[in-house]
Structure formats: C-alpha cells, structure tokens
C-alpha cells in the first residue's frame, strides 16, 4: 500500500508517482560561482558584471570532480533523486552546449559535467533532474532588470537594449539540447519567474518573456514523462517553497498538491566558504520529517567546492541524516500526510496501515495519542524493532482484571480521565533511543 495518490496534477505532465514516493532529493548547485565561493548570486550582489566575472571562467578547473563518487555518496545518504544546476543565473553551461562558448568544455576542465553526472547518477539507480535558469546574466540579449549585475552600468544598458525574442530562441535551444542529448531526464527544475517585480526603471519577467507555453510544449514533446516544477509562471507543476517551512499541507479542494520544500544547509546554495550558518543534522532531519508529514518532498541542497568536492561539514551533515535514514527510511519513502492528528512536538507520516510517530522531544514514560484507541494491532520502535506496549480502549477491562501491579493502577487513573476521546496510551522506555529522532511505528487494523 503506497502513498495516497489523490493528487492534483496536470493530465499532460508525466506521472508524478515516483516523485511522491521518493520524498528525499539532492539539490546540487555548481558553477563558476563555486570558485568565487561567496553565494551563487555573487555576480549581481557585488555587481561584478560580465567582464569582471571572466576570471572565474579563466581559472575554472574542478580537477577532483568525480561523478561516480558524488552518485555513491548521494545514494548512501538516502537520496532518491538529484537535481544539478546545468546552468545558473550567471549563464555558464556545465554541458557542451553548441549555442554558446560560455561552457565548461571551453575551460581547463574540458569535460561535459552534465553528461558525466547523468550517467553516474542513473547507474546508482537515482532519478536524474536538471536545474535550468530562465535568467541569464551573460547573454547579450537578456533585457537588463533590477536583478541584473549591470543594472547600474549605463554604458552596458545603452549597448544592450535587450531582445527577448532572440534570447528565448537561445534559451529554448539550450533546453532542447539538454532534453535530446542525454536520454531520459526525470525532472526539469526551472528558476524563476518574477513577473510582479517592479523596480521603477525596469520590471520583472514571466511567462510572456520566457514564452513559457511554447517552451512547455517543446519539453513535453521531447520528454513526455518528465516532471516540471512550477516556476515557468504557468500555475502548474511541483510547488517549490524555497527556504521556508510550510505550516500546513498544500491542498486544492479535496486533492493534495505535489510539492517540494527546497532547503539549504547554510542559507546559500552555491559553495560559500566563510558562511558558517550551518543547520545541525537534527534540524535537517526534522525538516525532512516535517515536510513528509505535510505531504511534501524535501530537496536538500549542497554546494560542492570549485575543485568539485563536497566539503567536510556538508558530508558530516548529510551522512548523519543518512544514518538516521538508514534506520528510519520506512517512515519517509512512500509515506505522506496522515489522517491522524499528532500529539504536541511530534509528527505523523503514514503509508497505508503503517502509521509512524516521530518524537521531536522524548516524553516521560507515557504518551497519549488522540483518536487512535482501538485501532492498533502492534507497535514498535523503528531503530531496533523493539516492541512498544500500549493500552487502548478495547483492552481496558481485560487490563483491569489481569494486572494487579502498581503501574497498572496508576495507568488506570489516567485512563479513566483520558479514554473518552479514544486515545491510545503508549508506554515509552525511560531511555530515549540514541537516534536523532526516534520513531514509533503503529500497525493499524484495516
Ligand atoms: O538557485 C537558488 C537561488 O539562487 C535561486 N533559487 C534557488 C533554488 C533564488 N534564490 N532566491 N531567489 C531565487 C529569489 C531572489 C531572492 C533575492 Fe537575494 C533576495 C535576491 C536578492 C535578495 C537571495 C538573497 C539572493 C540574493 C540574496
């Protein structure tokens, strides 16, 4: 029994079942910004511009890049799919595009990194996604707006009046290359539309500027099974809340929406050497659980360094989350939001008649779960598969007859107060299991 399939999803898009089942994806932000090593928006945050940015191209050489090692690490850490920045806003292509010279095969590195990534991740059995920036600060026809690095450079603006028809031809052409040159692509992640922005002397860009409808038709004709995110400004595709955690599920009427929380390890997406604002493995694990409990996926980002390696702090975090996943993956993969309401400081996920209670804090000995009384067949901790005892309504009179010990009497006093609302009373060990977040699995009656 899998996840609830009652999702709102466009008929002409591919089947999102694999995506909803997988739940945990790896976002990889890599590009020339990895060499600057101070945020992937550095080109515009510091208004560096095309000329000033050239040095990152000239000295780019991720000599330690090993796609197989990335793929193995991703798999081991529990990720089921990955999304790599084929091109970020800076306009630098990580594949051998025929439409521009601004590409990785023209650097000292000289290889097609996108191709190597796709092959290696596929070989590990991971689903393969590509991120593609709709924004391109390198392309001469891209109309300068308030996000552009040359926004205050009058000379550049004079010489580059913008020709978005030419730009979209180029941009659609690059997307075509990515979707025709590398076999099946499972997920295409566009970034981003900002039609509502108004800087006074310029405005943002949206579906008219990108010719999104046309782009979407081309994509679906090349890759009919592909999943798309929601940033083409067409109001469809995977919802992608970025760097914030939702309070609720995403629903439309009685149907759930397909969505993915995109989270960073330290607030930046690209490698950001001096940024020490790391989330702890516990925070990341809780973000993942919280997301799945609301029916979403989590796409967790890492920013490899300019030599093509993952730094030690990144490895430490994802490996610790991976160790938690090794023991608790059943409560994530194929799971979704539960019909039951979790007690304070806990989260439910559910997969058919398996209900998983994630305890963010460890209560002392007893825990009451509302509405679950009479519904449970068996309960255990996931980390060591040890039985967890509980009392539920139907067993109450029997319990009264057979148990004469003091604990049972104490328990009964609670029961008298609490059982009216069909609670389940769970008895926990005093010792909290030595895992980031303990999980109790309840097997429910059908
Ligand atoms: O690729 C990653 C980001 O670079 C891109 N989307 C993810 C997946 C993105 N991040 N933010 N945005 C798009 C929207 C713009 C946010 C901004 Fe800012 C706030 C631009 C300027 C202030 C974030 C913070 C970027 C620079 C500083």
pLDDT value, residue 416:
54
pLDDT value, residue 413:
53
Are 297 and 371 within one domain? no
Supply the CATH number for residue 420's domain.
2.60.40.1180
The tokens for 171 are: 């941009």
Please, what's the b/e burial string for 272-289 (b: 16 or more CB within 10 A of its CB; e: otherwise)? beebeebbebeebbbbbb
Are 54 and 177 within one domain? yes
Query: Residue whose CA is closest, atom 18 of ligand 1?
Result: 41
How far does residue 374's CA lie from ligand 1's centre (Å)? Answer: 49
pLDDT value, residue 407:
60
Atom of ligand 1 nearest to the CA of 191: 6
| 380 vs 359: CA distance, rounded Å | 13
The total domain count for the chain is 2
Q: Which of 274, 306, 331 is the last residue of a domain?
A: 331
Give Cβ neighbours of residue 99 (< 8 Å, ≥ 6 apart).
170, 173, 174, 177
Pocket test for ligand 1, best of 36, 132, 146, 192 (most atoms within 8 A of CB): 192
How far does residue 113's CA lie from ligand 1's centre (Å)? Answer: 24
| 115 vs 107: CA distance, rounded Å | 16
pLDDT in tens, 175-201: 999 999 999 999 999 999 999 999 999
Are 147 and 237 within one domain? yes
SS3 (DSSP) at 330: helix
Residue 51 lies in a domain: yes
Pairing outcome for strands 346-351 and 255-257: unpaired
Residue 411 lies in a domain: yes
The tokens for 306 are: 């300019």
Are 292 and 369 within one domain? no
| 25 vs 55: CA distance, rounded Å | 32
Residue 1 lies in a domain: no
| 120 vs 125: CA distance, rounded Å | 9
The overall average pLDDT reported for the chain is: 94
Strands of the sheet containing 260-263, edge to edge, are: 227-228, 187-191, 127-133, 81-87, 24-28, 297-302, 260-263
Are 231 and 91 within one domain? yes
Has this prediction a pTM greater than 0.75? yes
Confidence of residue 17 (pLDDT cuts 50, 70, 90): very high
pLDDT value, residue 410:
55
Are 315 and 377 within one domain? no
Are 241 and 358 within one domain? no
Residue 379 lies in a domain: yes
pLDDT value, residue 182:
98
Query: Residue whose CA is closest, atom 1 of ligand 1?
Result: 269
Confidence of residue 254 (pLDDT cuts 50, 70, 90): confident
Q: Which of 275, 299, 331 is the last residue of a domain?
A: 331
pLDDT value, residue 167:
98
Phi, psi of 24, deg, nearest 5? -125, 110
Q: Which of 271, 297, 331 is the last residue of a domain?
A: 331
Are 134 and 203 within one domain? yes
Are 316 and 365 within one domain? no
How far does residue 310's CA lie from ligand 1's centre (Å)? Answer: 22
Atom of ligand 1 nearest to the CA of 44: 26
Query: Residue whose CA is closest, atom 26 of ligand 1?
Result: 41
Residue 147 lies in a domain: yes
How far does residue 30's CA lie from ligand 1's centre (Å)? Answer: 15
Confidence of residue 415 (pLDDT cuts 50, 70, 90): low
Residue 339 lies in a domain: no
Are 262 and 401 within one domain? no
Whether 398 has a pLDDT exceeding 50, the answer reads no
Q: State the sign of the Cα–Cα–Cα–Cα dihedral 32, 37, 43, 47.
A: negative
pLDDT value, residue 406:
54
Q: What is the CA radius of gyration of the chain?
A: 25
pLDDT value, residue 290:
98
Supply the CATH number for residue 150's domain.
3.20.20.80
Residue pair 21/75 in contact (Cβ under 8 Å)? The answer is no
Of 328, 367, 325, give the one whose Cα is nearest residue 345. Answer: 367
Atom of ligand 1 nearest to the CA of 192: 13
Residue 55 lies in a domain: yes
How far does residue 4's CA lie from ligand 1's centre (Å)? Answer: 33
How far does residue 191's CA lie from ligand 1's centre (Å)? Answer: 10
Give how far the C-alpha of residue 23 lies from the chain's centroid of Cα atoms, to the nearest Å. 8
pLDDT value, residue 394:
52
**Ligand 1 binding residues, C-beta < 6 A:** 40-41, 45, 191-192, 242, 262, 269
Confidence of residue 240 (pLDDT cuts 50, 70, 90): very high
Pocket test for ligand 1, best of 28, 38, 41 (most atoms within 8 A of CB): 41
| 148 vs 140: CA distance, rounded Å | 12
How far does residue 148's CA lie from ligand 1's centre (Å)? Answer: 12
pLDDT in tens, 263-278: 999 999 999 999 999 9
pLDDT value, residue 414:
54
Residue pair 304/312 in contact (Cβ under 8 Å)? The answer is no
Residue 208 lies in a domain: yes
How far does residue 343's CA lie from ligand 1's centre (Å)? Answer: 35
Average pLDDT of the segment spanning 198-216: 98
Are 201 and 155 within one domain? yes
Range of the domain at 168: 7-331
pLDDT value, residue 392:
87
How far does residue 376's CA lie from ligand 1's centre (Å)? Answer: 46
pLDDT in tens, 333-388: 999 999 999 999 999 999 999 999 999 999 999 999 989 999 999 999 999 999 99
The tokens for 7 are: 């999702």
């Amino acid at each position: 029994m899998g996840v609830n399939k009652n999702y709102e999803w466009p008929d002409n898009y591919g089947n999102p079942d694999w995506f909803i089942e997988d739940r945990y994806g790896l976002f990889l932000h890599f590009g020339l910004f990895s060499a600057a090593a101070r945020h992937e928006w550095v080109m515009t945050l510091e208004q560096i511009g095309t000329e000033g940015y050239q040095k990152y191209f000239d000295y780019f050489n991720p000599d330690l890049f090993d796609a197989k090692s990335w793929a193995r690490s991703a798999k081991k850490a529990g990720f089921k799919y990955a999304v790599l920045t084929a091109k970020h806003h800076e306009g630098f292509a990580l594949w051998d595009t025929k439409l521009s010279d601004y590409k990785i095969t023209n650097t000292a590195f000289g290889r097609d990194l996108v191709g190597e990534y796709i092959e290696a991740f596929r070989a590990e059995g991971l689903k393969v996604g590509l991120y593609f920036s709709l924004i391109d600060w390198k392309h001469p026809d891209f109309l300068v707006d308030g996000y552009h690095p040359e926004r205050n450079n009058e000379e550049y603006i004079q010489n580059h009046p913008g020709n978005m028809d030419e730009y979209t031809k180029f941009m659609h052409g690059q997307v075509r290359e990515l979707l025709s040159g590398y076999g099946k692509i499972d997920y295409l992640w566009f970034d981003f539309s900002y039609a509502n922005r108004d800087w006074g002397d310029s405005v943002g860009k949206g579906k008219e500027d990108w010719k999104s409808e046309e782009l979407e038709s081309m994509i679906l004709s090349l890759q009919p099974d592909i999943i798309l995110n929601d940033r083409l400004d067409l109001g469809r595709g995977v919802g992608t809340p970025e760097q914030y955690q939702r309070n609720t599920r995403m629903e439309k009427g009685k149907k759930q929406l397909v969505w993915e929380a995109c989270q960073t390890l330290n607030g930046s997406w690209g490698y950001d050497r001096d940024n020490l604002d790391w989330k702890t493995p516990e925070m990341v694990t809780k973000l993942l659980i919280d997301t799945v409990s609301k029916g979403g996926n989590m796409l967790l980002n890492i920013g490899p360094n300019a030599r093509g390696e993952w730094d030690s702090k990144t490895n430490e975090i994802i490996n610790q989350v991976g160790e938690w996943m090794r023991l608790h993956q059943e409560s994530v993969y194929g799971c979704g939001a539960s019909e039951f309401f979790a007690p304070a400081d806990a989260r439910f996920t559910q997969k058919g008649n398996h209900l998983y209670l994630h305890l963010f804090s460890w209560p002392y000995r007893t825990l009451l779960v509302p509405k679950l009384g009479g519904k449970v067949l068996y309960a255990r901790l996931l980390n060591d598969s040890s039985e967890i005892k509980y009392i539920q309504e139907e067993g109450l009179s029997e319990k009264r007859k057979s148990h004469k010990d003091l604990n049972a009497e104490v328990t009964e006093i609670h029961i008298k107060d609490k059982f009216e609302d069909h609670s389940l009373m769970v008895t926990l060990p005093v010792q909290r299991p030595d895992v980031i977040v303990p999980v109790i699995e309840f097997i429910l009656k059908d």
